[in-house]
C-alpha cells in the first residue's frame, strides 16, 4: 500500500522517462505523473511510449503507488478524438487519473465511462472555490490550483471545497513567466506552440535594448554587461509552507520537473518526503539541500502575498549547483559491497557525498585504485564505467562530488 503521511497528504513527483519514474518511487513519491509522445505539455521531456506507459503503471502499482497521465495540451477540434482514444487505451492499462486543462476534453473523457479519475491541470488557472466546485460538478475529482494564489486564498478554497473535490498545489520547480503557463511568446519567437507542449523557453533568453535609429547597438538595461534576463523567474520552493498546506486540507503536494535530471528528482523528492513525514529543516538546511542541484534561485512566489524584484533572477538564467552527480548504485555486490554506474568523471581516493533513498546523507572515500566489473584497475573512471565498491549501499543510492 502507498505510504501515508501523518497528514495523509500525497507527494506527487514528475517523470520524463521510465527510468525517472523508478527513481521517483525509490525516493518516496506516493504518485508519479508523466506524459506520452502526444497530448502532454512537455514535448521535449523524453516521454513514454504506450509500452513504456504500461510498464510504468505496472511498476507503480506493484509498489503501491499511483500513475497520472498528462493530457493537458489545449487541443484543436481535430485532436480531441485522438486524445480520447489514447485515454481509453491508457485506462485499460490501469491509469489512475488523467490530468487535463481543456473543458471540451474534460467533457469528452467524462462521457466515455473511464475508470481513471479526472484531474484539472494548473494550466486551467483555477483561482477560486466556485470554479473548483464547478469542475467537481463536471466530473473532476481533483484540481491543481493556479500558482498565483496566496496562502490565505488557498486556505479559503480548501475550506469551501472540503469533501467535494481534492485540492492539489504545486510546491516546487520551475514556473512560467506568464499567467499559469498560458504563453504565446514561444509561438512568436520560435514558431513553437507552448500550449501544445513545444515551449522553447524564450523567457530564459538574454535580452538587451535596441533603439530603432541605431541598429546593431545593443544597450544593456541592467548593470550586468552580459545582458538582462528580463522574464527569468526564480524556481518555486515552498518547503516552509508544506506543513501549513497539509494542515489546511491540501490533498497533494506536486513537484515540477519532467525535463529535470535523476539528481534533481532524488534530491527534491527526498526533501519533501521527509518534510511530509514530519522531519523539520531550518530554511538554511533546506536551501543547502536544494542548492546541491542546478537551479535559477528559489522563491516562495505568490503564496507569501505577492511578487517582487527578489523573485526574479536578472543577471543569469541558471546556476550549476553546489554538487556534481557522479555515480549511482545499481545493485548489491555478492561480496557485501555494491556495483555503481559512473555518470561523471571519478578519481581514485576522491571523497564523495552519499544520498540514500531514505534521505540519509553521509560521505565515503573511493578506494585506490578503482576496480571495474571486468577486473580492470583504474585511477580515473569515466562515464558508463561499472565499478565495485566495498560499501554496502542500496540500489538507487546517489553519489555526488560536493563543489563548495
Write out pLDDT tens, residues 87-97: 999 999 999 99
Class of domain 10-178+233-311: alpha beta
Half-sphere exposure of 31 (CA within 13 A, CB side): 23
DSSP string, 220-275: -SSS-TT-B-TT-BPEEE-GGGHHHHHHTT--EEEE--TTS-HHHHHHHHHHHHHH
Q: How far is CA 120 from the centre of its chain?
A: 17
Structural domain boundaries in the chain = 10-178+233-311, 323-402
Please tell me the distance from the alpha carbon of residue 126 to that of residue 120, in angstroms, as a whole number.
9
- Mean pLDDT of all residues belonging to the chain: 88
Strand partners, 118: 98
d(CA 295, CA 175): 12
DSSP bridge partners of 242: none
Output the nine-digit C-alpha cell for 100. Answer: 487535463
pLDDT one-digit tens code per residue, 277-296 = 999 999 999 999 999 998 88
Whole-angstrom distance, CA of residue 86 vs CA of residue 71: 9
Proportion of the chain above pLDDT 90, given as a percent: 70
CATH fold, domain 323-402, is: Elongation Factor Tu (Ef-tu); domain 3 (2.40.30)
C-alpha distance from residue 114 to each of 111, 136, 279 (Å)? 8, 16, 38
pLDDT of residue 214: 80
Per-residue pLDDT of the chain (404 residues; tens, 9 = 90+): 334 445 699 999 999 999 999 999 999 999 999 999 888 866 555 689 999 999 999 999 999 999 999 999 989 999 999 999 999 999 999 999 999 999 999 999 999 999 999 999 999 999 999 999 999 999 999 999 999 899 999 999 999 999 999 999 999 997 765 655 566 666 656 666 656 556 666 666 666 667 788 888 776 555 444 444 455 678 899 999 999 999 999 999 999 999 899 999 999 999 999 999 999 999 999 999 999 998 888 988 889 887 676 766 645 545 678 999 999 999 999 889 999 999 999 999 999 999 999 999 999 999 999 999 999 999 999 988 999 999 999 999 999 999 96
Amino acid at each position: 500500500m502507498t505510504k501515508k503521511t501523518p497528514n495523509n497528504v500525497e507527494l506527487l513527483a514528475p517523470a520524463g522517462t521510465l527510468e525517472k519514474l523508478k527513481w521517483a518511487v525509490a525516493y518516496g513519491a506516493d504518485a508519479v505523473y508523466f506524459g506520452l509522445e502526444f497530448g502532454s505539455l512537455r514535448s521535449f521531456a523524453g516521454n513514454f511510449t504506450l509500452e513504456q506507459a504500461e510498464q510504468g503503471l505496472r511498476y507503480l502499482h506493484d509498489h503501491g503507488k499511483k500513475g497520472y497521465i498528462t493530457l493537458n495540451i489545449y487541443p484543436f477540434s481535430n485532436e480531441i478524438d485522438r486524445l480520447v482514444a489514447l485515454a481509453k487505451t491508457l485506462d485499460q492499462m490501469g491509469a489512475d487519473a488523467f490530468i487535463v486543462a481543456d473543458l471540451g476534453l474534460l467533457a469528452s473523457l467524462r462521457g466515455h465511462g473511464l475508470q481513471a479519475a479526472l484531474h484539472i491541470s494548473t494550466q486551467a488557472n483555477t483561482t477560486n472555490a466556485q470554479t473548483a466546485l464547478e469542475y467537481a460538478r463536471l466530473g473532476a475529482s481533483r484540481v491543481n490550483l493556479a500558482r498565483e494564489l496566496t496562502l490565505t486564498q488557498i486556505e479559503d478554497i480548501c475550506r469551501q471545497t472540503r469533501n467535494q473535490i481534492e485540492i492539489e498545489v504545486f510546491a516546487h520547480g520551475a514556473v512560467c513567466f506568464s499567467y499559469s503557463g498560458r504563453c504565446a511568446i514561444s509561438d512568436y519567437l520560435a514558431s513553437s506552440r507552448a500550449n501544445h507542449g513545444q515551449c522553447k523557453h524564450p523567457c530564459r533568453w538574454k535580452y538587451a535594448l535596441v533603439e530603432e535609429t541605431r541598429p546593431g547597438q545593443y544597450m544593456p538595461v541592467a548593470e550586468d554587461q552580459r545582458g538582462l534576463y528580463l522574464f527569468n523567474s526564480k524556481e518555486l520552493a515552498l518547503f516552509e509552507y508544506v506543513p501549513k498546506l497539509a494542515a489546511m486540507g491540501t490533498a497533494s503536494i506536486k513537484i515540477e520537473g519532467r525535463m529535470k535530471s535523476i539528481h534533481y528528482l532524488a534530491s527534491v523528492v527526498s526533501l519533501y518526503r521527509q518534510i511530509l513525514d514530519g522531519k523539520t529543516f531550518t530554511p538554511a538546511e533546506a536551501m543547502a539541500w536544494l542548492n546541491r542541484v542546478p537551479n535559477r534561485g528559489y522563491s516562495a512566489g505568490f503564496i507569501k502575498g505577492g511578487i517582487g524584484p527578489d523573485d526574479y533572477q536578472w543577471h543569469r538564467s541558471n546556476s550549476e549547483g553546489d554538487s556534481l552527480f557522479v555515480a549511482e548504485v545499481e545493485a548489491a555486490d555478492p561480496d557485501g559491497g555494491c556495483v555503481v554506474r559512473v555518470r561523471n568523471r571519478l578519481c581514485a581516493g576522491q571523497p564523495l557525498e552519499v544520498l540514500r533513498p531514505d534521505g540519509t546523507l553521509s560521505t565515503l572515500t573511493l578506494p585506490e585504485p578503482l576496480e571495474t566489473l571486468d577486473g580492470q584497475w583504474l585511477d580515473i573512471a569515466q562515464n558508463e564505467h561499472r565499478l565495485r565498491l566495498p560499501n554496502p549501499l542500496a540500489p538507487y543510492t546517489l553519489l555526488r562530488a560536493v563543489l563548495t
